Amino acid sequence: MEVKSYKDLVVWHKAMDMTYLAYRVTADLPGRRAIRLDLTDAEGRGFGPANIAEGHRRSSTKDYLRFLSIAAGSLAEVETLIELASRLYLIRSTHMEELAGLVEEVGKMLRALQQRVEARLPSP
């Protein structure tokens, strides 16, 4: 299948699912506003779907790779904040498991996409 738009990328859809779930879970966090704000700030800065979309629209392969790298870094940040919220018992274990599964899946998909895009770069 030819990828004409970032919306054709399965990783973009999975990242959207993960972002949506993270927002829903963190919106209900009681009292621990700092954790909730950290999670929503990380999401709001464009983790995953926004960086994948922006990179896909860039004119160069190097720019695309840079935005995929930013998405991967933000994914690690979100994963860490979700783990912290879980350790503080702010996220139910069922939500934690679902989020952790999506984070892992998106991470694998991002790495695979990065490898495919890197293969397009000319050899030195």
- Domains of the chain in start order, with CATH, are 6-118 (1.20.1440.60)
Task: Find all residues with CB under 8 Å of 47, minimum gap 6, and list them.
Answer: 15, 19, 71, 74, 75, 77, 78
**Which has more confidence, 45 or 106?**
106
d(CA 2, CA 24): 33
Looking at residue 117, its pLDDT comes to: 93
Looking at residue 9, its pLDDT comes to: 94
Looking at residue 114, its pLDDT comes to: 95
List b or e across 57-79, with b for residues whose CB sees 16 or more CB atoms inside 10 angstroms. eeeeeeebbebbebbbebbebbb
Give 60's DSSP letter.
S
Looking at residue 42, its pLDDT comes to: 55
Global pTM value: 0.82
d(CA 36, CA 28): 9
